[in-house]
Chain A
């Protein structure tokens, strides 16, 4: 049994909570200080207790690029960032376009034992945008894939997109679209605008994102399926999604932490640490994204955690890879951009980073309220403490963070995944075998926990 005493929940109540057999076994509300102590008691005075975060957009790089990240290293980064579930994007090598690959990634996640690792399946074979991958086989596998995405590439063929949206209705799946018209973004390097015109980098115009969002909204309305827009970055994209939601079209959308805080003027020195796809946009876009996340037009925050080895960033801009790591800074960046600026409450933050993503993806052990009998996926944070981002201290194998040297709010102190403590006093705890399944239990599916 583990007891967490005197933590404040999102409603502002002081609670003490007990964890037993992977579940929350008891919750007591108190105005008096709970004086129980012992090795199995965490005194959480001054700390917030929140349900574990859920990420629907994570690049784990395994299989294929284990030099930049593995399922295990990403899992550690995830737990350090307060995440108890992440979603492995399909653009690995080989591509996660078969039941075999998604089951392998799922199994690696279980073995790592730091968080749920839910594979996302490719929409098209090899992400080549020509032929549907075996979506049904991935859905029926032990990984129970429900989200399909060619992320990194856009499903640009409208007919193929239509078919994919229709096909996943069989198992209540959804298509997560990387909205980028490929013809409008040939060799694109950064946001097309005032900065790109001055520094001579090929522009990635907002319309390349917005035209695909508009098309896909109309397609999903026509066929009645579920569409999710990955990493929305533009004010125009927000307006289209708002319009679609007003019409009752089933579309959800995500924004990344970096697009909530950073703008394209950072590119001016050509430091590829700021090279990301979709690119950093303008201040006007950042404010539109923040407003949309606050009012729910954008449903969730997703990290788009994209690890790259140092040689892919320590070079000239055009030779560099697109992407930023984000798992370990995500919560703090959202607190900085949304909570500290009074745009969003802590309870809305929980909805955008935990309950809503779990609901969209159908992760039934994740994102619930902290109630007796529910799985103990939760974490503690000190909302008044600050921390300095230091790339060398990241748990991710790759260090490509754009927030290096920045002081960020909210320090995560303790994390519990599946009732087992994975972070204690802001440090990784070696996970006991009891949190990993053996392969026999794997064969019975994820419901065993």
Chain B
């Protein structure tokens, strides 16, 4: 990658994104073997700096780093100096002083990862593991990886794939990163949500927008359901949980209209019975578990490329 950091999908060219996906595939192939661990990042120190609770993303990054033999430090904001009012700047400088080579940051404020990368607070590589309602680039990469593996394993990119993303687009960093990456890789994207959960500037995004899930359900190759936060109801983004589930949930009826070749995705954690019914989540077309598995491979690829690991085929050779 040209940048030292991964903050936004915009940091990546199409070739770089595809390069990451093929590195991830190679790493997946190697670590599927009996020995899951590579010595590539031995001696490197990676900090998981999590200001928001996210067990899934944190353990995915932790697993990825450990499989590459890096040392991992988990820094969770709760119960730490951060909850005593320490600023992001001071926390960052503390990690710097401890010799972190990379900081994987999850933060509730959009732009926190970008600030960490742009300021002189630290010199470490910064990897955005989700910043507010801005971006979650490794989630988009793992989603693209999953789509490609299932629908276009031998193709150059995702041309011709129609992806429908359903739910709270307004507050979703997953949606923002996915729209950017899927567009870059040639897929067609349709966003489906009530107008209250779409940003006003969505008109300028490289997507189509629909308010009606039934209009697009039978036309897509991928349906990605976003988690709906129940507190949105209190803020009148939609009237009730049940009305949301009826109009925008993936239920049995809609599942039956989905193409047989289509895949069902969800970044997790799922609200079963709300945005996705149990039978949809457990359907043969659901690839939710693959997403989790691919997340580790993709994050390994990101760490590997950003932290300058030794050439991958040498490592692969050692394994054989």
Contacts and interface: CB of A to CB of B under 8 A. Distances in A.
Interface centre among A205, A270, A319, by most chain B C-beta atoms within 10 angstroms, is: A270
A316 B204 contact: no
A196 B114 contact: no
A192 interface: yes
Interface in A325-350: none
Interface string B123-142: 00000000111110000000
B109 A318 contact: yes
A21 to B, nearest CB: 53
Nearest to B109: A318
Nearest to A317: B111
Given A200-B133, A311-B87, A270 B205 contact: no
B204 A194 contact: yes
Contact of A316 (B109, B201, B202): B109
B236 to A, nearest CB: 11
B interface, how many residues as a size bin? 20 to 34
A319 B133 CA distance: 15
A197 B202 contact: yes
A199 interface: yes
A314 interface: yes
A198 B200 CA distance: 10
Interface in A302-323: 311, 314-319
B118 interface: yes
A192 B110 CA distance: 15
A201 interface: yes
B107 A316 contact: yes
B114 A269 contact: yes
A319 B201 contact: no
B87 A319 contact: yes
Nearest to A198: B201
B200 A193 contact: yes
A221 interface: no
Nearest to A193: B201
A200 B201 contact: no
Nearest to A270: B111
A200 B176 contact: yes
B201 A196 contact: yes
Contacts of B119: 314
A196 B88 contact: no
B115 interface: yes
Contacts of A202: 133
Contacts of B132: 200-201, 318
A198 B176 contact: yes
Given A199-B134, A270-B114, A314-B89, A319 B199 contact: no
B192 interface: no
A interface, how many residues as a size bin? 20 to 34
A196 B132 CA distance: 12
A29 B307 CA distance: 73
Nearest to A192: B200
Contacts of A193: 200-201
B200 A270 contact: no
B154 to A, nearest CB: 33
A46 B175 CA distance: 59
Given A192-B200, A311-B87, A197 B205 contact: yes
Interface centre among A197, A200, A318, A319, by most chain B C-beta atoms within 10 angstroms, is: A200
Contact of A315 (B89, B114, B133): B89
A192 B200 CA distance: 7
Interface string A181-210: 000000000001111111111110100000
B87 to A, nearest CB: 6
Contacts of B67: none
B112 interface: yes
A382 to B, nearest CB: 36
B173 interface: yes
B110 A201 contact: yes
B61 to A, nearest CB: 20
Interface string B90-129: 0000000000000000011111101100110000000000
A197 B118 CA distance: 21
Interface centre among A192, A201, A205, by most chain B C-beta atoms within 10 angstroms, is: A201
Interface centre among B89, B111, B119, by most chain A C-beta atoms within 10 angstroms, is: B111
Interface string A97-140: 00000000000000000000000000000000000000000000
Interface in B32-80: none
Nearest to A314: B89
Interface string B160-201: 000000000000010010000000000000000000000111
Contacts of B200: 192-193, 197, 203, 205
A369 interface: no
A201 B132 CA distance: 8
B18 to A, nearest CB: 23
Given A270-B110, A314-B89, A316-B88, A197 B201 contact: yes
Nearest to A189: B110
Contacts of A200: 110-111, 131-135, 173, 176
A200 to B, nearest CB: 3
Contacts of B111: 199-201, 269-270, 316-318
Given A194-B204, A200-B132, A200-B176, A317 B115 contact: yes
Interface string A239-278: 0000000000000000000000000000001110000000
Nearest to B170: A197
B88 A319 contact: yes
A195 B201 contact: yes
A205 B176 CA distance: 20
Contact of B201 (A194, A270, A314, A318): A194
Contacts of B202: 197
Contacts of A271: 115, 118
Interface string B205-228: 100000000000000000000000
A197 B170 CA distance: 8
A200 B113 CA distance: 13
A205 B200 CA distance: 10
A317 B108 CA distance: 11
A319 B114 contact: no
- Closest 6 interchain pairs by CB? A197-B201, A270-B111, A197-B199, A200-B134, A200-B133, A194-B201
Given A196-B201, A311-B87, A315-B89, 12 more contacts: A193-B200, A199-B110, A205-B200, A270-B110, A270-B111, A271-B115, A315-B87, A315-B115, A316-B111, A317-B111, A317-B115, A318-B110
10 contacts: A193-B201, A197-B199, A198-B201, A200-B134, A201-B133, A269-B114, A270-B118, A271-B118, A316-B107, A318-B132
Interface of A: 192-203, 205, 269-271, 311, 314-319
